[in-house]
């Protein structure tokens, strides 16, 4: 059996161990339940839409009757297609958990494969381990599937290396830059590299446009650093790079023509930044202060990291003092290595960009401007979250560790053992804490034949009304095989000013349902809201359903008042009001 396959199995085993609380009941448990519900919906929707000859990118199945362009909401289209057999056999939640478990392993093995160009199996495996199981990956596993499935950055590095300096296999100790760069039979042509890169770009765009955009930024910075080091070589290779990019643009443009046309020229398009600025950024202390996602996280440290802006999922740049010290030593020791010479300034630049548009110090936002403030004004990149650039820092750190360990492979055993202990000590602070999954289970009504009482294509008003913090109705709809259109959503839609909002347009109806559920309005007060009955009549739902919810009795009273009658039935854990259909 090939070594890489054994290593991939080991990475998968580590991923299962890290996410073990999911696998207690993989069809009904999830992390970051709101975002997990969002991805569950898309994972089921894409193959459903394709299988039924529907447009997978624009739909009124959520946010009815207005609809939504799902491409603004990280729909992981390609992953939904690839995991469709699991979705059909075990349901969309199990499919999501399968992808979340595979994502670190796939990312790690991609990093390993690229690191093998500079190191042997063991050192390259360490690079893959750091990249695939870093604090970034642990945080993103709590609901951000599009960020955890990250083989693209290593593949981009591999393809650029193919074009510029390719030499097969791990280098020997006396390999030099010249021997890898001149007339080597492993060199790839600009056309071949561009075609492969175009395929990779198209695939990545259908998983995460943000990761594609930040990879392009980091890749461009790397090429710029190379050009500064080797200006004459850069001029000589400029034509090659231009031809490669031309072929890449051709392939990616053809493959992405339909989805990009729908996203940027179709209905429900969003303008401007999707996320607020100066929130999900790396604090100056982020790199050295652990968060609740690390196993070694003293309470005194958590007092600081819990005060950083952004939630714990986005505070993902932790590297730890031991690893940072080791990397600083390696930056000096390996400064003559051709790759490390590029990685050192690239690491510093990316770390600086990850700090966002203004410097944050221990949770305080200062007025000190930083380079990311210029990036925020760019299209597409302006919506990226700078804290997520920590992914690239772990890639650079993993490569530096692999190169160092490779240099020691042929040294005396005590030195090798000492280096292994030192590397393990540097990585120990990054060991993740136990992650706790929560239940993601639909009422029996949506998972049995009971739901057939609702004809396909019906519009249904469901409580709890779906919104970002409680999107359970979207999960129920997915389990019901998208049988009905759903009012409301957790999705990215245009706000009245053209920007982004993560819920449907507010109305007296949504206000009444949300405030009664929250207990801030009584049903009688809600029923007296101006415009409530007109909003209900405009939606004209075929049915109203109330599942498990806070203040459920009050919600039932509200719907009784809206419809003028009691629920006709309570099958499978829901209350059902039939408006234009017969149960």
pLDDT at 165: 81
User: How far is it, in rounded angstroms, from Cα 30 to Cα 471?
Assistant: 13
Positive or negative: CA dihedral 330, 331, 336, 341: positive
pLDDT at 167: 40
Burial status of residue 407 (CB atoms within 10 A of its CB: 0-12, 13-18, 19 or more): middle
For 147-200, what is each residue's pLDDT tens digit?
999 999 999 999 999 888 864 444 444 334 333 333 344 457 899 999 999 999
* Closest C-alpha among 545, 482, 561, 517 to residue 44: 482
- Strands of 284-379, DSSP E: 358-361, 364-369
**Residue 313 pLDDT level (bands cut at 50, 70, 90):** confident
Which residue blocks in 25-176 are alpha helix, DSSP H? 33-51, 77-82, 84-90, 92-115, 121-132, 135-140, 145-148, 152-165
**Residue 254 pLDDT level (bands cut at 50, 70, 90):** very high
What is the maximal distance between C-alpha atoms in the chain? 85
For 444-455, what is each residue's pLDDT tens digit?
999 999 999 999
Pairing, β 438-439 against β 58-59:
unpaired
User: How far is it, in rounded angstroms, from Cα 124 to Cα 117?
Assistant: 9
For 393-443, what is each residue's pLDDT tens digit?
999 999 999 999 999 888 888 888 999 999 999 999 999 998 999 999 999
Across 47-62, average pLDDT: 96
Q: What does pTM read for this prediction?
A: 0.92
pLDDT at 185: 43
**Residue 275 pLDDT level (bands cut at 50, 70, 90):** confident
Across 195-218, average pLDDT: 97
Positive or negative: CA dihedral 406, 225, 150, 302: positive
**Contact present, 208 and 146 (Cβ < 8 Å):** yes
For 223-252, what is each residue's pLDDT tens digit?
999 999 999 988 989 999 999 999 999 999
User: How far is it, in rounded angstroms, from Cα 336 to Cα 274?
Assistant: 42
**Residue 497 pLDDT level (bands cut at 50, 70, 90):** confident
Share of the chain above pLDDT 90, in %: 84
The partner residues of 520 in beta bridges, in order of sequence, read: none
* Closest C-alpha among 483, 489, 486, 487 to residue 471: 489
pLDDT at 184: 42
Q: By three-state DSSP, how is residue 462 classified?
A: strand
For 531-577, what is each residue's pLDDT tens digit?
999 999 999 999 999 999 999 999 999 999 999 999 988 888 899 99
**Contact present, 46 and 39 (Cβ < 8 Å):** no
pLDDT at 582: 57
Is 295's pLDDT higher than 90?
A: yes
pLDDT at 493: 93
Which residue blocks in 116-189 are alpha helix, DSSP H? 121-132, 135-140, 145-148, 152-165, 177-181
Which residue blocks in 166-189 are alpha helix, DSSP H? 177-181
Is 466's pLDDT higher than 70?
A: yes
Alpha-carbon distances, residue 71 vs 258, 259, 268 (angstroms): 11, 8, 10
User: How far is it, in rounded angstroms, from Cα 335 to Cα 533?
Assistant: 71
């Amino acid at each position: 059996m090939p070594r890489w396959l054994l290593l991939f199995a080991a990475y998968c085993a580590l991923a299962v161990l890290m996410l073990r609380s999911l696998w207690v009941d993989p069809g009904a448990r999830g992390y970051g339940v709101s975002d997990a519900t969002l991805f569950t919906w898309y994972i089921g929707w894409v193959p459903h839409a394709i299988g039924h000859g529907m447009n997978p990118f624009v739909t009124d199945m959520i946010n009815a009757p207005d609809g939504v362009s799902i491409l603004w909401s990280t729909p992981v289209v390609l992953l939904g297609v690839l995991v469709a057999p699991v979705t059909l056999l075990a349901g969309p939640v199990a499919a999501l958990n399968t992808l979340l478990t595979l994502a670190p392993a796939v990312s790690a093995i991609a990093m390993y494969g690229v690191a093998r160009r500079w190191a042997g199996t063991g050192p390259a495996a360490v690079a893959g381990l750091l990249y695939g199981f870093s604090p970034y990956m642990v945080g993103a596993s709590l609901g951000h599937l599009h960020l955890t499935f990250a083989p693209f950055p290593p593949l981009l590095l591999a393809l650029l290396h193919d074009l510029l300096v390719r030499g097969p296999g791990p280098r020997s100790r006396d390999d030099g830059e010249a021997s890898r760069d001149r007339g080597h039979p492993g060199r790839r042509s600009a056309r071949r590299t561009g075609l492969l890169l175009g395929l990779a770009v198209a695939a990545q765009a259908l998983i995460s446009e943000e990761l594609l955009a930040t990879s392009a930024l980091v890749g461009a910075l790397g090429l710029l650093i190379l050009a500064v080091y080797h200006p004459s070589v850069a001029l000589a290779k400029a034509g090659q790079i231009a031809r490669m990019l031309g072929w890449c643009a051709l392939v990616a443009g053809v493959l992405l023509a339909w989805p990009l046309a729908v996203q940027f020229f179709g209905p429900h398009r969003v303008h401007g930044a999707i996320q607020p600025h100066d929130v999900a950024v790396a604090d100056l202390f982020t790199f050295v202060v652990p968060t609740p996602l690390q196993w070694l996280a003293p309470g005194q440290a958590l007092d600081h990291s819990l005060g950083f802006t952004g939630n714990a999922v986005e505070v993902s740049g932790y590297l730890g003092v031991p690893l940072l010290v080791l990397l600083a030593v390696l930056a000096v020791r390996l400064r003559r290595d051709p790759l490390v010479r590029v990685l050192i300034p690239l690491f510093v630049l990316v770390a600086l960009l990850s700090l966002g548009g203004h410097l944050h110090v221990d949770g305080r936002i200062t007025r000190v401007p930083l380079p990311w403030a210029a990036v925020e004004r760019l299209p597409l990149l302006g919506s990226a979250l700078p804290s997520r650039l920590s992914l690239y820092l772990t890639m650079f750190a993993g490569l530096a560790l692999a190169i160092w360990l490779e240099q020691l492979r042929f040294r005396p055993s005590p030195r090798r053992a000492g280096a292994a202990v030192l590397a393990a000590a540097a990585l120990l602070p990054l060991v993740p804490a136990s992650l706790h999954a929560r239940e993601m289970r639909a009422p029996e009504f949506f998972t049995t034949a009971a739901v057939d009482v609702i004809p396909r294509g019906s519009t249904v008003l469901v409580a709890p009304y779906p919104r970002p913090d409680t999107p359970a109705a979207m999960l129920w709809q997915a389990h019901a095989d998208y049988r009905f259109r759903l009012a409301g959503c957790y999705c990215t839609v245009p706000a009245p000013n053209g920007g982004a909002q993560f819920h449907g347009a507010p109305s007296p109806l949504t206000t009444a349902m949300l405030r009664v559920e929250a207990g801030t309005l009584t049903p009688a007060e809600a029923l007296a809201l101006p415009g409530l009955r007109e909003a209900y009549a405009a939606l004209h739902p075929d049915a109203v359903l109330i599942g498990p919810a806070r203040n459920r009795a009050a919600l039932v009273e509200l719907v009784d008042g809206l419809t003028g009658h009691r629920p006709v039935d309570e099958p499978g854990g829901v209350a059902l009001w039939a408006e234009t259909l017969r149960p």
